[in-house]
Amino acid sequence: MTQDMSGVGEHYAATGVVQRIRAALASLGPEDRPLTPRELGTMDQFHTRGHAATAELAELAGIESTDRVLDLGCGIGGPARLIAASRGCRVVGVDLSEGFVEAARYLSLRTGQQQRVQFHAGSALALDFADASFDVVLLQHVAMNIADRPRLYRQIRRLLARGGRFATYDVVRGDGEVLYPAPWARDARDSFLLDAQATRETVEAAGLRVRAWLDDTPAARSWAAQLKVAAAAATPATPGLGVVMGPDFPLQAGNHARNLLEGRVGVLMAVFDAV
C-alpha cells in the first residue's frame, strides 16, 4: 500500500508551537525556573491515558537505566522525558514533524533533561541508525498513521539488539465506522488502523515474538468517560494538548472518546521480544 505522507505531515505541522507552549507555561513561573515533567500536565503525552499509559508501558517493557531507548513518533517528547526521569535511561526520539521536534527540544531544556533525551526529525520508515542500536523501541499512538506496517516493524526489528524489546501502545480497529477528525487524522485518508490480531501477526512476521499482551480498551473507555465529564464541567486544570494541536482539538478528542465508548476503536498495549 502506498501512502502520501504529506497528509499526516500537515495534520501534525504545528507551526508556532514553541511560542504557544511558552505562553501556556508562563503561568507556572519565569522561563528560567526548571519544570518537572509532571508540571507539563497532559500537554506533552499525545495518547490515550497520558502519563499513566507511558509509565505502564515502560514497566511492562522492563526498561532499565542501562537500556538504549528509541521513541519512534515521539511527538513533543513527553514520553521520552517521563521515561528518562523515571527509569534513569537515555532516550532518543524521532518524529516526522519538525515543529514537534523543536518543541520537544525546548521542553527538555525547560525540564533540564537535555543531556538525557535527544530528538531528531525523520520518518520511522527510513531511519539511518545502525543495526542493533537500541535495547528498547517504543511506539505510542503512531502506527495508525502508517500504511506500510510490514516495513515499519521490519525497521524496528533491525534496530533492536539481542534481547531487545519492542513496546507498542496503539489504537486498533474495532467495530463500525471511525469518526473523524480524530486526534491522529483529519479523515480516513491518513488513518491506517489494523485490528489487534492483524497487528500481532504483522509484528510477528517481522521477527518479533509477543512477550506481554494487554487489551487496554476497558481502561481507555473509563478514561474517555472521565474526559467527557471534565469537558462538560470545563475544568482543565493543567495545560492540555489543545496548546499543541490548536482549536480543533476538542472536536478530535470528543470523537476519540466516542470512538472508544462506542467500540469503533480499541487500544492495545503489547511488548515483543526480538528473536
Ligand X SMILES: C[S@@+](CC[C@H](N)C(=O)[O-])C[C@H]1O[C@@H](n2cnc3c(N)ncnc32)[C@H](O)[C@@H]1O
Provide the binding-site residues for ligand X, judged by CB under 6 A: 8, 12, 45-47, 73-75, 78-79, 94-97, 100, 123-125, 140-142, 145-146, 183-184
Tell me the closest approach of the beta carbon of residue 126 to ligand X, in angstroms: 8
Tell me the closest approach of the beta carbon of residue 249 to ligand X, in angstroms: 11
Task: Report whether 69 contacts 83 (CB < 8 A).
Answer: yes
Q: Which of residues 29 and 117 has its CB atom nearest to ligand X in the complex?
A: 117
Q: Determine how many CB atoms are found less than 10 A away from the CB of residue 122.
A: 16
Tell me the closest approach of the beta carbon of residue 70 to ligand X, in angstroms: 11
Return d(Cα 54, Cα 252) in angstroms, integer. Answer: 21
Q: Which of residues 32 and 128 has its CB atom nearest to ligand X in the complex?
A: 128
Spell out the residues 6+ positions from residue 10 whose beta carbon is closer than 8 angstroms to its own.
Answer: none
DSSP 176: S
Nearest to 136, CA basis, from 165, 163, 116, 96:
165
Q: Which of residues 29 and 236 has its CB atom nearest to ligand X in the complex?
A: 236
Q: Which of residues 90 and 149 has its CB atom nearest to ligand X in the complex?
A: 149
Dihedral sign, CA of 17, 223, 180, 123?
positive
For ligand X, the nearest residue by Cβ is 75
CA 156 to each of CA 43, 151, 230: distance values in angstroms, whole numbers, following the listed order: 27, 9, 37
Tell me the closest approach of the beta carbon of residue 11 to ligand X, in angstroms: 8
Q: Which of residues 72 and 160 has its CB atom nearest to ligand X in the complex?
A: 72
Q: Which of residues 160 and 171 has its CB atom nearest to ligand X in the complex?
A: 171
Vertex 245 angle, CA 244 and 249, to 5°:
130
Residue that the C-alpha cell 515533567 belongs to: 37
Return d(Cα 64, Cα 142) in angstroms, integer. Answer: 23
Tell me the closest approach of the beta carbon of residue 32 to ligand X, in angstroms: 26
Q: Which of residues 95 and 135 has its CB atom nearest to ligand X in the complex?
A: 95
Q: Determine how many CB atoms are found less than 10 A away from the CB of residue 197.
A: 10
Tell me the closest approach of the beta carbon of residue 68 to ligand X, in angstroms: 18
Return d(Cα 134, Cα 244) in angstroms, integer. Answer: 29
Spell out the residues 6+ positions from residue 212 whose beta carbon is closer than 8 angstroms to its own.
Answer: 60, 269, 270, 271
Phi-psi region of 64 (alpha: psi -120 to 50; beta: other; left: phi over 0): beta
Tell me the closest approach of the beta carbon of residue 224 to ligand X, in angstroms: 15
